[in-house]
Amino acid sequence: MRSSMLLALWVLGALGVSPSPDPEVDPPTEKSIPCSKGCTCHNDHYSSELNVYCSARNLTLIPADVPPSTHSLWLDGNLFTSLPAASFKDLSNLDFLNLQSGQLSVIDAQAFRGLRSLAHLHLERNRLRSLPTAVFQTTLALASLNLHNNQLMRIEEKLFAKLSSLWLLNLGWNSLAVLPEAAFQDLQGLRELVLAGNRLAYLQPQLFQGLTELRELDLTGNCLKVIKANVFLKLPKLQKLYLAQNQIVTVAPRAFVGMKSLRWLDLTNNRLNELHDETFLGLHSLHVLRLSNNSITNLRPRTFRDLQYLEELRLSHNRIRALGERIFEGLGHLEVLELEHNQIQEARMGTFLGLSHVAVINLSGSCFQNLPDQVFKGLSKLHSLHLDRSCLSRVSTQAFVGLTGLRRLFLQHNNISVVERQSFIDLQGLQQLDLRFNKLESMSSHTFYGLKNLDYLLLSGNLLQNLPPESLLPLKRLSWLDLSGNKLESLQNDTLQLLPRLRYLNLKDNAFSSLPSEMPESLDQLWLTGNLWRCDCSAQSLRDYSLSKPQVVPRQVETLMEGEEPHTVVSIFNNITCNSPPNVAGTDLRDISHEHFHNC
């Protein structure tokens, strides 16, 4: 798909025109150019080649008066249902013929007779169910042939015979269930073959033999169940192999052996439950390996050993239960390791050994019984670690040892009630720490020790009852502090003064009755709703502050609801509702009159 799009764009680029010329805005036809009646003609500025546009003209017949010198002819989006013999017989100069998005269901075997120069033929998005065997035998100069999105049920064995100049063949999104074993045998020049979106259940051993120039093979979305060892032999230049969305249960050991150039292998959304030690043998150029959404239960130590240039390994949505030692050994170039949504209960100290370049590890959505000490040691390039929704109940002192490059640590939605002293001490580069929705009841003065670059600290949805000022002392660069949804009743007077860069402070839904009298100058958002404000003299400074800074303490903010289509606007209130004394209970602090405070 991608390359055919590119091809189309390249062709368009070369022609210097837009894809579906609108009759109203077409440049006026120059008088001197001969043109087919009802069409628009245009001489290319650079090559002075003649382009004829008859797109979407409701034509029911191929125009008979197209000038013989025509170089490209656009007939897409018309109403003819068949192409009779010799439909283009005088167009021996034609290079590009676009017949896509029409109603074609019948093409005569001689329809393209005379198109000696034709290189690019678009027949996609029609209603073709079959093609006569000889139909392309009069257009042997074809370089790209697009037949995708038709209803082809079968391909004749000789349909592509002698098309040795063809480099793109797109047969995607048809109804092909079987291909003749020799269908592609003459296509020595083929670089891209798209067979995605068909019903292929079986690939014959001979099918791709001889395609020595092939760079990209797309078999996404078929019904393949088994990948045998002899199917992809002799594809030495293949770079991308797409096998996603099939029903593949088994990949034979050594199935990809000899694919020296393979950079991209996609097996997402299949039914693999096991990877053999030799499944990926010899893939020394592989950069991307996608195995997400399968049923893999186990990873063996030497499975990935040849993949020394792998940069991305996706194993999310599988059923992996344990991560043994050295399973990723050899992946010294790996940057992204996705393991989210597995059933991992156990990892070992040496699990991630050797991943010296890994930048992102996603382990969210598993259920660890515990995380061994020093399990991430040596991963000095790691910058994001996702451990959210992982059943963790404590963070131990040694858990994150060695993660000196870590910038983002996701620990939200666990069961963490204990963070041991100095657990984060190595994380001097950490910018974002997400501890939302855990079971934290208290912070000690050593909890955040070492986090001198922390910018975002998210603690909402815990059980915090107090926040000792010393605990925030290391956080000199903190700008965002979310404490909403805890059980805090107060903050000590100097707590916030320890955070000279604080811009955002969320105290919603706690049990606050009062706040320190001074707010940091740097603050530009303060959320206070859902607390138990005591609106006596102690609240006077908060009242003055919120009235003088309505931007910092807005009463209400309109925002777009995330993910909703169409977007709905919701109001977020920031009420400072008084809980006491009784005479003002229920009133917003900002609405209480000045006189109320005249005795203070």
Ligand X SMILES: *[C@@H]1O[C@H](CO)[C@@H](O)[C@H](O)[C@H]1NC(C)=O
Q: Could you list the residues that contact ligand X (CB under 6 A)? A: 56-58, 268-269, 292-293, 317, 338, 340, 360, 362, 364-365, 386, 391, 415, 492-493, 516-517, 529, 573, 575, 577
Instruction: Decide: 104 and 84 in contact? Cβ < 8 Å.
Output: no
Min dist CB 341 to ligand X, Å, is 6
Q: Please identify, using beta-carbon distances, which residue of 191 and 314 lies nearer to ligand X.
A: 314
DSSP string for 190-214: --EEE-TTS------TTTTTT-TT-
Cβ neighbours around 10 below 10 Å, total: 12
Q: Toward ligand X, which CB reaches closer, 42 or 317?
A: 317
DSSP structural state of residue 115: -
182 has which bridge partners? none
Peptide bond into 468 cis (omega under 30): no
Strand partners, 265: 241, 289
Instruction: Report phi then psi at 385, rounded to 5.
Output: -125, 115
Q: Which of 39, 41, 60, 59 is nearest to 49 (CA)?
A: 41
Return the number of other C-beta atoms located less than 10 Å from residue 1's C-beta: 16
- Comparison of 114 and 461: residue with beta carbon closer to ligand X: 461
In the complex, minimum distance from the CB of residue 128 to ligand X, in angstroms, rounded to a whole number = 22
Closest distance to ligand X from the beta carbon of 491 (Å) = 9
Contact 140, 162 (CB under 8 A): yes
d(C-alpha 380, C-alpha 362), whole Å: 16
Instruction: Give the shortest CB-56-to-ligand X separation in angstroms.
Output: 6
CB of 340: closest distance to ligand X in angstroms?
Answer: 4
Nearest-approach distance from CB 554 to ligand X, in angstroms:
12
**Shortest CB 408 distance to ligand X, Å:** 10
> Closest separation between CB of residue 339 and ligand X, Å?
9
Integer Cα distance of 188 and 375 in angstroms: 50
Cβ closest to ligand X, residue 112 vs residue 368: 368
Q: Are 390 and 363 in contact (CB under 8 A)?
A: yes
Q: For ligand X, which is the closer residue by CB, 401 or 515?
A: 515
Q: Which of 270, 302, 311, 264 is nearest to 283 (CA)?
A: 264
Q: What is the rounded CA–CA span in Å between residue 344 and residue 109?
A: 59
CA dihedral angle for residue 148, residue 152, residue 154, residue 157, rounded to 10 degrees: -50
DSSP state of 592: S
How far apart, in whole angstroms, are the C-alpha atoms of residue 309 and residue 322? 25
Residue closer to ligand X by CB (options 72, 577) is 577
| Min separation Cβ 85 and ligand X, Å | 27
Query: Would you say 187 or 344 has its CB closer to ligand X?
Result: 344
